[in-house]
Amino acid sequence: MDLTGKVAIVTGVSSGIGRATAAALLACGAAVAGWGRTAPEGLDHDRFQFFACDVRDEHAVAEAFTNTQRELGLEIHVLVNNAGVGIFGPIDGFKSEDWHAMFDTNVNGLFYCTRAVLPQFKKQHEGHIINVASLAATAGTASLAGYCATKYAVRGFSDALFKELRPDGIKVTCVMPGSVETNFNGATPGAAPDPHKMQPEDIAAAIVHALEAPQATMISEIQMRPAQVK
Which of the residues are catalytic?
147
How far is 158 from 130, CA to CA, in rounded Å?
9
Handedness of CA 131, 134, 138, 142 (dihedral sign): negative
For residue 90, give the 3-state DSSP assignment.
Answer: coil
Nearest to 183 by CA among 69, 61, 12: 12
Q: What does DSSP assign to residue 107?
A: I
* C-alpha R_g of the chain: 17
First-last CA distance in the chain:
37
